[in-house]
Amino acid sequence: MPPLSRSGRFKKGPDADVRRYSESISFDWRLYRQDIAGSIAHATMLAKTGIITKRDCAQIIRGLRQIERQIEQGKFRWREELEDVHMNIEAALTARVPAAAKLHTARSRNDQVATDLRLWVMDEIQALDARIQNLQLALVHLAKRTRSKSGLLPIPGYTHLQRAQPVLAAHHLLAYVEMLERDRDRFSDCALRANVCPLGSGAMAGTSLPIDRALTAKLLGFEKPSDNSMDAVGDRDFAAEFLFAAALTGIHLSRLAEDFILWSSSEFGFITIGDSHTTGSSLMPQKKNPDVAELARGKSGRLIGNLVSLLTMLKGLPMTYNRDMQEDKEPLFDSADTLDTSLTVFACMIQATRFNAAACLKAVTDPGLLATEVADHLVRHGVPFRQAHHAVGKAVKLAETGKMTLSDLTPKQWRDIHPSFGKDIARALTLTEMFRSRDRLPGSPGQHQVEAQIKRWKKQLS
C-alpha cells in the first residue's frame, strides 16, 4: 500500500534525505490528543449526516480510542516515513479498522492541523493560567509574611537603580502580581480568537459533500466554525498571539528575577533565597548563586526568539496553507514548555525566599529617600511645587557639602533655604508620616492600602 500522504500522481516516494528533512513527527506527535479528538468529532459528524454509517463510525471511534491508549502507554511506534502525527494515526487506524479509509472524507490535513493546533493552544492556555496563578499566590503569600515590628516591611524603592522613595516590600511584590494578571488576560484574550473551528474548510475551498460544520465545532467545544475557508487554513495569528503572550510573561519573569538577583547580592542583602533554589561554585566555596532566577532571566530571550521566528516565517507567505507553516510548532511547543517550567520553578523559589528585615530597615532609613516628602511639606504650606522642588534640592546639596543627612540640618538652616520651613519639618522626615500620608490614596504603598490589596488578591486568586 502506498504512503497515505501520497496520491497516484507519484511514481515513487521521496528521497531519504527529503523524507528526513520534511518529517514533523519528531515533534508534532504531541498533538495526538487533539488529533484524535478532531477525528472522533469528524467521524461522528460524517455519521450524523449519513456520509458514513453508524457502524463505520463506531469502529473508527473504537480504533482511535485504542490508539490513544497505546500512545499514552508508550507502546505506539511513530514512523518517520509517515511524515506527521495525522498520517501515523490514520495508518495505524487503517491497519485495524477497514472503515478508516472513509475517515478523511471531506477533510484535508490543512484544516486538520489548523484544528489540532487551535485545540492545543487552548489547552496550553488553561495549563499556563494555572501556573501563573500559582506564581501570583506565591508572591502574595511572601508579601503577607514580609513584616517588621511596626507592620509591613519597608524597603527603598528605586528609579534608574538609584534610591528614590520608601515603599513597602509587599507593595513591590504586588506590582508583579498586577503584571502577571495582565499576562493571564492576554492569554485569555488569545484563547478567544483561537476558539474558532477550521474543520470543514478542506484544503482551502471547503467541500461539496453535505457536512455539518456547526456540529463538528460543537463536538470539539469551539465557539463557532470559521467564516472563510482560505483564512481558516492559512491563519496562525492565534499562534503568534500565544507566543507574544508567552514572551511578555517571560519578560515579566526576567524583571522579577533581576530584582531577586540584586536583592540577594551582598551589596543589597534584602533577601535570602533558600538552599533548594541556589547553587554553589566549583571553585569558590563561599558562593551562593541565584541560578533559578538567572535561568529565568536567560530563558526570556528564548521566548522572544520563538516569537520572532514565527513572525518571520509568516511574513512572506501567500494566502492559504504553505509547508512553511510546519515551522510553527516547534516554537510553540518550546515556548509552552519553557514558560511552564519557569513559572513552576519560580513559584517554588519564592516560597523558599525570606526578606532580611534588618538590612531592609537599614537601607530605608536613608533620609534622602524622604526628599519628596519635604517638597510636599512646603506645598502644604502654600509654596508652588517647582519652588519647593528647588528649595529641597538646595537642602540636599547643603547636606552633601557638609557630609550630613537631611535630618542633620538645623531649623535655622532649613529657614535660610526657605522661610516656609517650620519646626514641623522634622515630622516630614519620618517613615511613619510618609506611609501614614498614603493610607488614603488608592494604589499607593500605605500600610492599610497594601494590606487591603493583599486581602483582595488572596480572595481573588483562591
Q: Does residue 351 belong to any structural domain of this protein?
A: yes
Helix (H) / strand (E) element for 184: namely helix 169-194
Same domain, 100 and 150: no
Rounded to whole angstroms, how far apart are CA atoms 272 and 293? 13
281 is catalytic: yes
387 and 317 housed in the same domain: no
Written as one string, the DSSP assignment of 107-172 is: --HHHHHHHHHHHHHHHHHHHHHHHHHHHHHHHHHHHHH-EETTEEPEEEEEETTEEEEEEEHHHH
Rounded percentage of the chain residues whose pLDDT exceeds 90: 86
pLDDT of residue 427: 86
Residues 50, 162, single domain; the answer is: no
24, 254, 281, 389: the catalytic one is: 281
Cα angle at 388 between 387 and 391, to 5 degrees?
85
pLDDT for residue 2: 39
Q: Classify the phi-psi angles of 360: left when phi > 0, otherwise alpha if psi is within -120 to 50, otherwise beta.
A: alpha
Is the residue at 282 inside a domain?
Answer: yes
**Number of domains the chain is built from:** 3
Same domain for 172 and 39: no
Do residues 237 and 312 both lie within one domain?
A: yes
Please tell me which residue in 42, 108, 160, 254 is annotated as part of the active site.
160
The identity of residue 456, as a single letter, is R
| Cell numbers for 238 | 492565534
CATH number at residue 336: 1.20.200.10
Host domain of residue 66: 16-105
Of 366, 334, 342, residue with least CA distance to 255: 342
State residue 7 phi and psi, 5-degree precision.
Answer: -90, 180
Q: Do 169 and 302 have their domain in common?
A: yes
pLDDT of residue 442: 94
Q: Cell numbers at residue 368, please?
A: 534622602
Return the H-helix or E-strand segment holding 345.
helix 329-351
Domain boundary among 338, 363, 388: 363
Domain boundary among 308, 342, 363: 363
Shared-domain flag, residues 358 and 385: no
Low-confidence ranges of the chain (pLDDT < 70): 1-13
Domain end among 60, 89, 105: 105
**pLDDT value of residue 11:** 67
Residue 439 lies in a domain: no
Examine residue 461 and state whether it is found in any structural domain, yes or no.
no
CA–CA gap between residue 73 and residue 67 (Å, rounded): 10
129, 230: one domain: yes
C-alpha cell at 397: 546639596
Instruction: Please indicate, yes or no, whether residues 321 and 340 belong to a single structural domain of this protein.
Output: yes
- Beta pairing partners, 152: 147
Within a domain: residue 249?
yes
Assess if residue 436 is contained within a domain.
Answer: no
Inside any domain, residue 435 = no
In a shared domain, residues 241 and 295: yes
CATH code, domain with 101? 1.10.275.10
Task: Classify residue 315: in a domain, yes or no.
Answer: yes
CA 168 to chain centroid: 26
148 and 268 co-located in one domain? yes
> E strand or H helix at 352, and its extent?
none
Sign of CA dihedral 24, 25, 31, 37: positive
Residue 1's pLDDT is what? 35
| CB-neighbour burial class of residue 33 (10 A; exposed 0-12, middle 13-18, buried 19+) | middle
Residues 322 and 187 in one domain: yes
